[in-house]
A and B are shown apart, each in its own frame.
Chain A
Amino acid sequence: MPHRIFLLTESEFRDPLQNYGDAEFILDFEGAAELLKLWRNPHLGRSSREGAVLSLGAKNAVAIQNILQKIMTTYLTEAEEERLINELKILQFIGDRVLPDVLERVNKNELQTVDDIIRYIQNLLRELKYEGTVDLNLLADKLNSLKDIVDLEITDAYGRKKRIKREEVMDVLGNILGHYLLKQINVLPIDEVQKRPRGTIRLRETYKSAVLSSQSIPPTRVKQEDIIRVKKDRRSLVYFLVDLSQSMQKEVFEGGMTRLDGALLTALSLYYYFKTANRRKRKRYDMFQLAVVPIVRNPFVVDDDTKMEDLLLNAKAKGKTHTVSSVLKAIEHAKAQYKHKNIDVQLTIVTDGMPNIPVYPFNYKISSSLKNYFNSIDTKTSPETIECLLQLNAIFKHLKSDPNRNWNISYFLMGTEALRKKEIYSHTYQMLKGITKPILVDPAQINKLGEQVLRESIYHA
C-alpha cells in the first residue's frame, strides 16, 4: 500500500468536545419577571436547586472516572500524583457522602441561601476535623462549588438554561432589559444629526435654512452661516413614579406575572437604559438621570444601585395609592438636588387606579373649574379621591407655570381599552386638562411599557 501523508488543520479535524449549543442568550420580559420572582423569594426555585445538585454529582462522577484512568495510564511526577490522589479522595467523599446529604437538605428546604450553604460547609468541616480522613483545606475549597446550587436558574426565550449568581441578578436583568430598550429607541434621533469635530450639526434645520437662503429646492449650496449646530445639550432629570398599591398585585395574564413585577422591571429597564445611554456619551456629566419613586405611604427616592436593588427585592403591592405625597417628594428632591436651571425635570407616573390619600396641609392653589366639574357631575367616586385629583391638578398647574425651569409630566394609566368609558379615565382626563393627556397602557402589553414611556414622554417631550 502506498503511504501518503496529509496534514490536517484544526478546522478540518474539529475538537470532538466542542459545544454546539453555544449561542446568544435571549431573555424575554416574561423570563425576566420569572427571574425577579425567584430572586425575591428564596423559597421558590427548589427544583432548580435539586437540578444543580444532580449536575454537580454528574460532573463529579465524570471527574472521578477520568482521574482513575489518568493514574493508571499517564506518567505522573511526584507532586502531580499526590495532587491527583488527594483530589480523587475528596471528589469521592463529596460524591458519596456530601452530595446525597445536600440533596436531602435541599428537598427539605434547609439550604436556600449562600449563608445556609456556608454554615453547612462549616459544620461539615468541624465534624470532619475529629475524623481526620481528608485534606480539610482542599475539601473546603472544593465544597465552595456547592454555592452553585443557590444560583438562580434562568431560562431564555428558547428554554435553554443558564445559572447566575444571586448578587448579579440586578446587573444581569438590568443590562439585558436596558440594552433591549436601547435597541428599540436611541436617546437622540441619529438620522437628524451629524457629528463633526466643530460640533454636532442638525441636518434638518441646516437644510431648511439653506433652502431659505438660496431660495430653491433643493438648495444650490450650503453656506457656512446656514449650518446650525446643536445647542449645548440640556440635561434631563426623570422621576419614574411607580404605583405600589394593593391593586398592582393583580396578575397580568395567566401564569403569574403581576402588574407589580412588570412595573418594577420597567423601572429597572429604564434605570439601566439611562445608565448605558450615559456611559455611551462621553460627557463630564450625565445627560439623563433617572430616579424611581415608589408610590407608598412614606415615599422615598431611589437614585442609586443599592437603593434600586433594595426596592426590587422588597417592594410589596399593598395599601392605598399615595400619589400626591410621592409627587411632592419627587419635586422636593428635584429642587434640593439639582439647583441648576438647565436641568429639565420629567415626572412620569405609572398607576392603575386613582389616588385616594390627600395631603394636608396643602399649599398650592386649587383650580375652581375642576372643582366645578366635580360638583356638577353625579359620581360614585369617593371625596378623598376627588380631593387628591384636585391636589394633583394644582401641583401640575403650578409646575407648568414655573418660569425657572421646564417641568414635563406624563401620566400612564394601566388598563384595557374598555377603561376609556369608565369614570377613572374621564376623571383623570379632566384632572390633566391643559397639562397633558393620560396614556392608556394595556397590562398585557406591560413588556412594552418601558418603550412606551420613553417614546411618549422623554423622547417627544
Chain B
Amino acid sequence: MHKDELADIINVYLKARKDFLELVGETPENYRILIFLNPDLHISVNRVIESAGTPQAILTAEEVVHLQSARNNEYMPLGKETVFNSIPTLIYLSTPRYELTEEEKLTLRIMLVHAFAHAYMNEKTESNNPRQLSRIYQLDVILKELFQNNAYKINEETNKQLMWTWQYYQDLISVIRLFVEAGVQDFYSPPEEARKYTLFNNFSIEVIKVLKERAKESRKKHLHDLIDEGFAFYIQRMHLDYLNKNKQVPKNLPKELKPFMAPPVGKISLFLVDKLKLAISEQIEKEKKESLSSEEIEKRLFDKLFSFRTDLEFLETFDWQELKNWVSEQKRAHSEKVLKDWHVTTTNFTDIWSVYAYGWTQLENYIKKIYRKKYSTFGQLMDDNPKIEFKGYLTVDEKKVYVFEINNEGVGLDQLVILHNHMALYREDFATILPAFADIIAFKKIRGMHVATLFAVHKISRKQPISPYNLPIVTRAVQVTKRKDAYKTELDEEKEKMEVERVDYTHLKKLSQPQRNAISYLIKEGMYYV
C-alpha cells in the first residue's frame, strides 16, 4: 500500500546498496534505518544521543525543558544524519517528503552510503564498541519500561494521587545514571526484603541495579570514534569519486551535505586514515619490493582498521610529533576551505572560525589525552576529568555537610535534590520513603558562573512529606568569586567567633580560597539565617 509513496526512497536505498557493493565488495546486513518525515523528531533523537548516550535514555526534566526551549528558538542543528554504532546499527535520517528532487535523492544516497559504512564497520570490527553500545541500549530500554510501567501503575493504584511520580522517576533515573557513571556508587537502595512492601522500593532496587550495570558496561566500552568516522569518511570519499566518474554529481555539492563535509572530525579522521594507507603501502613496498594494486592496498587498510580495537591503537601507529604537526596543519587548511565552501561570505571570518576552532580544540584534547595518557576505554576518559568529585566534608554542630564538585551542565537544582535524597550518608536515621537526609554543598560550573549551592535539611516537620520534592530543605546558591569584598556577612564579631567554633573545616580536601569563602558564607547564611 505504501510501496508507491515510498518508491523514491526505496529506489535511492537500493542504489546506495549497489554503490556500496561496488565500492567495498560486500554490504552490511545488520542495521535498521528510521526515516523521519518530521525533522523535529529527528533533531530530538540526535540531541538525546548526544547528551545521554543512547536514543532511549531518559533525560532529567530540566534537560528536557532546556532542550525544548532551544528547539523553540531554532537553535538545534538540522538535517544531521544520526548513527548509533551498535549491533544492529541504528540509522536515523530525515527526508523532507516522499517525493524527492534529484538533489535530495543524491543527498540521501550519499548519506546512506556513509551510514552503511558505519554499519559495515560495526559488523567487522574487533572492538567491543558496538557490542557495548547495544548492551547499553538494551539497558536503557529496560529502564524506560521500568520507569513508565511503575509510574503508570503507581498513579493508577493511588487514583492519580501521586502525580509527581512521573517527573520524580524520570529525574531519579537520569541523575543516578550520571552519578553512577561518574563513579559515585554509594546510593541508598532499600534492602532486598523491602521489595514486597511498596512498589517504590521495588522500583528503586531494580533501577539502581540496572543503572549500576549500565555504568559498568559503558565504562568498559572502547574509545572508537576516530576509527568509525575515518572509515565512514573514507568510504564516502570513494563514493563521491565513483559518482563523479559516472558524472552523477553536480559541480556544487548539495547543501544538505554540509554536516558531512564541514565539521573537523571528518577532516582529521580521514586524513589519518590516508596516512595509515600510505604507511601500509610503503611497508608493503619495503617488504616485497613490488607494488600492489590500489584495491589490494585498500583491502589491507580496511582489515587493519577492523583489527584496531581502540582509537589508541590507531593513533599509536603514528609518531606523536608527527601527529601533532598534522593536526595543526589540517586545522589551518580547514580554516580557509570550510568558510569558502559552507558559509556565506558576508559574515565575519573570526566569528565563524571561532566556532570551528572550538570543535578543533575538543578534538585536539581528545587525541592528546588518548595518546599521552594511553586511554583505551570510556571509563578511563571519564576518570580523567570526573563529572562528579567528592571533596570531603565539614561539620556544623556535629552534623556533616558533604562537599561535591560537579562538572556537568545538565544537572539542575531539582535534580540535586534527588541526589541529596539518595546519597547513602545518613542511612540510620531515615523516616520517609526517601531516607537519606544529608546536607550537601555542590560546586558547579555553568559557563562563566562558578556556583556553590547548599542543600540543607531544615526542620523536619512532624508531617510526613507527601512527595520527594516536598522536603523541608534550604537551598542557597552563591557565585564563587575571587573578589575579596564579595560576601561580607553582617555578623557581629562576637557571634561570628562563636559560630566559627561550631563549624569544623578540617576534613575538607583541597579547595581554592574563593571556594572556601563561598562555603563559609553559605554555612553562615544558610544554616543560621533562614
Chain A positions within 8 Å of B, measured between CB atoms, are 1, 3, 5, 7-8, 10, 13, 15-24, 26, 46-47, 50-51, 53-55, 57-78, 81-82, 84-85, 87-89, 92, 95-97, 99-100, 103-104, 107-108, 155, 157-161, 254-255
CB–CB A62/B70 < 8 A = yes
CB–CB B258/A103 < 8 A = no
A23 to B167, CA, bound (A): 9
CB proximity of A255 to chain B, nearest CB, Å: 7
A254 to B348, CA, bound (A): 62
CB–CB B76/A158 < 8 A = no
CB–CB B449/A95 < 8 A = yes
Task: Decide yes or no: A17 and B68 within 8 Å by CB, A70-B78, A103-B478 being known contacts.
Answer: yes
Interface segment among B215-223, B271-279, B315-323, B460-468: the answer is B460-468
**Residues of B217-276 contacting chain A, CB below 8 A:** 255-256, 258-259, 262-263
Task: Decide yes or no: A103 and B449 within 8 Å by CB, A47-B476, A66-B75 being known contacts.
Answer: yes
CB–CB B475/A51 < 8 A = yes
CB–CB B479/A107 < 8 A = yes
Chain A residue with Cβ nearest B1: A7
Query: What are the residues of chain B within 8 A of A55 when measuring CB–CB?
Result: 62, 412-413
B385 within 8 Å of A by Cβ?
no
Q: Mark B54-90, 1 if CB is under 8 A from A, else 0.
A: 0110010111111111110101111110000000000
CB–CB B359/A72 < 8 A = yes
CB proximity of B519 to chain A, nearest CB, Å: 14
Query: What are the residues of chain B within 8 A of A159 when measuring CB–CB?
Result: 164, 465-471
**Residues of B273-290 contacting chain A, CB below 8 A:** none
A71 to B347, CA, bound (A): 12
B126 within 8 Å of A by Cβ?
no
CB proximity of B465 to chain A, nearest CB, Å: 7
CB–CB A47/B355 < 8 A = no
CB–CB A104/B481 < 8 A = yes
CB proximity of B273 to chain A, nearest CB, Å: 21
Q: Which of A22, A47, A74 contacts B259, CB < 8 Å?
A: A74
CB–CB B64/A17 < 8 A = yes
A414 to B56, CA, bound (A): 57
Query: What are the residues of chain A within 8 A of B40 when measuring CB–CB?
Result: 15
A88 to B453, CA, bound (A): 27
Q: Mark B477-515, 1 if CB is under 8 A from A, else 0.
A: 111010000110000000000000000000000000000
Q: A16-B55, A103-B479 are in contact. List 7 more A-B contacts (CB 8 A).
A: A15-B40, A21-B170, A58-B66, A66-B47, A69-B77, A70-B76, A74-B80
Query: What are the residues of chain B within 8 A of A61 when measuring CB–CB?
Result: 409, 446-447
Query: What are the residues of chain B within 8 A of A85 when measuring CB–CB?
Result: 347-348, 351-352
B356 within 8 Å of A by Cβ?
yes
CB proximity of B267 to chain A, nearest CB, Å: 11
Q: Mark B143-178, 1 if CB is under 8 A from A, else 0.
A: 000000001000000000011101101100000000
CB–CB A155/B470 < 8 A = yes
B11 within 8 Å of A by Cβ?
no
A74 to B476, CA, bound (A): 40
Query: What are the residues of chain B within 8 A of A73 when measuring CB–CB?
Result: 77, 79-80, 258-259, 262-263
Query: What are the residues of chain B within 8 A of A255 when measuring CB–CB?
Result: 461
A7 to B468, CA, bound (A): 40
Task: Decide yes or no: A5 and B447 within 8 Å by CB, A19-B68, A78-B346, A81-B347 being known contacts.
Answer: no
CB proximity of B148 to chain A, nearest CB, Å: 8
Query: What are the residues of chain A within 8 A of B396 when measuring CB–CB?
Result: none
Query: What are the residues of chain A within 8 A of B469 when measuring CB–CB?
Result: 155, 158-161
B191 within 8 Å of A by Cβ?
no
Task: Decide yes or no: A62 and B263 within 8 Å by CB, A74-B78, A85-B348 being known contacts.
Answer: no
Q: List 14 A-B contacts (CB under 8 A).
A: A13-B41, A17-B44, A20-B151, A23-B167, A47-B477, A51-B475, A54-B446, A59-B66, A61-B446, A73-B262, A74-B80, A76-B344, A92-B447, A159-B465
Q: Which of B10, B69, B470, B486 contacts A104, CB < 8 Å?
A: B486
Chain B residue with Cβ nearest A73: B259
- The 3 tightest CB contacts between A and B, nearest first, are A21-B167, A159-B469, A159-B470
Query: What are the residues of chain A within 8 A of B67 when measuring CB–CB?
Result: 17, 62, 66
Query: What are the residues of chain A within 8 A of B73 when measuring CB–CB?
Result: 63, 87
CB proximity of A284 to chain B, nearest CB, Å: 40
A50 to B56, CA, bound (A): 33
B358 within 8 Å of A by Cβ?
yes
CB–CB B79/A74 < 8 A = yes
Q: Which of B47, B66, B358, B481 contacts A68, CB < 8 Å?
A: B358
Identify the interface centre among A17, A71, A254: most chain B CB within 10 Å of its CB: A17
Query: What are the residues of chain A within 8 A of B61 when measuring CB–CB?
Result: 19-21
CB–CB A59/B69 < 8 A = yes
B100 within 8 Å of A by Cβ?
no
CB–CB B448/A96 < 8 A = yes
A155 to B344, CA, bound (A): 48
CB proximity of A106 to chain B, nearest CB, Å: 9
A78 to B47, CA, bound (A): 25
Chain B positions within 8 Å of A, measured between CB atoms, are 2-3, 6, 10, 13, 29-30, 34, 38, 40-41, 44-45, 47-48, 50, 55-56, 59, 61-71, 73, 75-80, 151, 162-164, 166-167, 169-170, 255-256, 258-259, 262-263, 342-344, 346-348, 351-352, 355-356, 358-359, 409-410, 412-414, 446-451, 453, 461, 465-471, 474-479, 481, 486-487
A5 to B3, CA, bound (A): 9
CB–CB A71/B352 < 8 A = yes
Query: What are the residues of chain A within 8 A of B38 when measuring CB–CB?
Result: 10
Q: Which of A10, A17, A63, A161 contacts B47, CB < 8 Å?
A: A17
Chain A residue with Cβ nearest B171: A21
Q: Which of A46, A62, A68, A254 contacts B461, CB < 8 Å?
A: A254
Chain B residue with Cβ nearest A70: B77
Query: What are the residues of chain A within 8 A of B75 when measuring CB–CB?
Result: 63, 66-67, 70, 84, 87
Query: What are the residues of chain A within 8 A of B342 when measuring CB–CB?
Result: 75
Query: What are the residues of chain A within 8 A of B471 when measuring CB–CB?
Result: 159
Query: What are the residues of chain A within 8 A of B29 when measuring CB–CB?
Result: 1
CB–CB A21/B479 < 8 A = no
Query: What are the residues of chain A within 8 A of B466 when measuring CB–CB?
Result: 157-159
CB–CB B414/A100 < 8 A = no
Chain A residue with Cβ nearest B3: A5
Query: What are the residues of chain B within 8 A of A63 when measuring CB–CB?
Result: 66, 69-70, 73, 75
Task: Decide yes or no: A75 and B347 within 8 Å by CB, A20-B166, A58-B412, A103-B449 being known contacts.
Answer: no
Task: Decide yes or no: A160 and B167 within 8 Å by CB, A18-B64, A74-B80 being known contacts.
Answer: yes
Chain B residue with Cβ nearest A4: B32
Chain A residue with Cβ nearest B465: A159
A95 to B409, CA, bound (A): 12
CB proximity of A23 to chain B, nearest CB, Å: 4
Q: Which of B30, B68, B467 contacts A1, CB < 8 Å?
A: B30
A290 to B414, CA, bound (A): 41
CB–CB A62/B409 < 8 A = yes
CB proximity of B1 to chain A, nearest CB, Å: 9
CB–CB A54/B78 < 8 A = no
Task: Decide yes or no: A103 and B477 within 8 Å by CB, A66-B76, A71-B355, A255-B461 being known contacts.
Answer: yes
CB–CB B351/A89 < 8 A = yes
Query: What are the residues of chain B within 8 A of A50 when measuring CB–CB?
Result: 475-478
Query: What are the residues of chain A within 8 A of B34 when measuring CB–CB?
Result: 8, 13
CB proximity of B98 to chain A, nearest CB, Å: 11
Query: What are the residues of chain B within 8 A of A81 when measuring CB–CB?
Result: 343-344, 347, 352
Query: What are the residues of chain B within 8 A of A53 when measuring CB–CB?
Result: 477
CB–CB B62/A57 < 8 A = no
Query: What are the residues of chain A within 8 A of B63 when measuring CB–CB?
Result: 62
Query: What are the residues of chain A within 8 A of B255 when measuring CB–CB?
Result: 75
CB proximity of B281 to chain A, nearest CB, Å: 33
A417 to B164, CA, bound (A): 37
A77 to B467, CA, bound (A): 49
Query: What are the residues of chain B within 8 A of A17 when measuring CB–CB?
Result: 44, 47-48, 59, 64, 67-68, 71
CB–CB A24/B66 < 8 A = no
CB–CB B448/A15 < 8 A = no
CB proximity of B83 to chain A, nearest CB, Å: 14
Chain A residue with Cβ nearest B345: A78
